[in-house]
Amino acid sequence: MQHNPSQGSNASKPEPGTQPGHTQAGHPQAGAGLLFLREEEFRIAQDKLFFAFRDLNAAPDAILHELGYGRAHHRALHWIGRMPELKVGDLLLILGITKQSLARVLGPLIREGYVEQGKGKVDRRQRLLVLTDKGVALERRLFEAARERLAAAYREAGGPAVEGFRKVLRGMTTEQGRKYLDALEAARSQKGPRILT
């Protein structure tokens, strides 16, 4: 995950050790077989989401750390890159944090020239966020750090699996989040295919 050089005597042996893994936690008195099977499947989803998240963020985290930034900065860069001219209010809704928490992350990004804010045309109270060239470059660097892992996963799993992957993740997302996913998709139908064909 992070930086764990030697120190006193922290964890060491990278061997997972033969864990029994009883999968206890529940099953008071069996009987409703299908119910428990279902439950185990949900727990598997949690297990795997945890590991995927952990391992996908490891490389970007290291880069961010060098720059004195953290994951919160990455999230902001990601979403501003994904939706240029994103309004501050939308970014808050996406991230699910308070204005004050965002400020601490966005402030430095703006001051150090990774993000710029324009005034809204329709509503001039709004600030529309965009990445500067420097911001695009950093976002790209972070993306490339995770890319290999993503590519390997897609390659190993194959096209149909990827489709299922996306379908399930969408299913776990609230209606609010889906609106943003849909907006991205709509943007793709306009601009994406043009590149391909």
Partner DNA sequence: AATATATGACAGCAATGCTGACTTATGTGC
Partner DNA sequence: GCACATAAGTCAGCATTGCTGTCATATATT
The residue ranges that bind DNA (CB under 7 A) are 1-13, 68-73, 75, 87-89, 92, 95-107, 117, 119-120, 123-127
- Work out how close the CB of 98 gets to DNA at its nearest, in angstroms, rounded to a whole number: 3
Which residue, 27 or 71, is less far from DNA as judged by CB? 71
Task: Give dist(CA 62, CA 49) in Å, integer.
Answer: 20
E strands, 100-150, are 115-119, 127-131
Residues 183, 191 contacting (CB under 8 angstroms): no
**Interaction partner, residue 70 (DNA, its own copies, none; CB < 5-8 Å by kind):** DNA
Residues 82, 90 contacting (CB under 8 angstroms): no
What are the CA-CA distances from residue 132 to residues 32, 75, 138, 158 (Å)? Answer: 57, 16, 10, 35
**Interaction partner, residue 111 (DNA, its own copies, none; CB < 5-8 Å by kind):** none
**Interaction partner, residue 141 (its own copies, DNA, none; CB < 5-8 Å by kind):** none
CA 91 to chain centre: 14
Which residue, 68 or 122, is less far from its own copies as judged by CB? 122
**Interaction partner, residue 153 (its own copies, DNA, none; CB < 5-8 Å by kind):** its own copies
Residues 109, 135 contacting (CB under 8 angstroms): yes
- Work out how close the CB of 64 gets to its own copies at its nearest, in angstroms, rounded to a whole number: 15
Where residue 84 falls (left for φ over 0; alpha for ψ -120 to 50; beta otherwise) is: beta
- Work out how close the CB of 13 gets to DNA at its nearest, in angstroms, rounded to a whole number: 4
Which residue, 5 or 171, is less far from DNA as judged by CB? 5
**Interaction partner, residue 107 (its own copies, DNA, none; CB < 5-8 Å by kind):** DNA
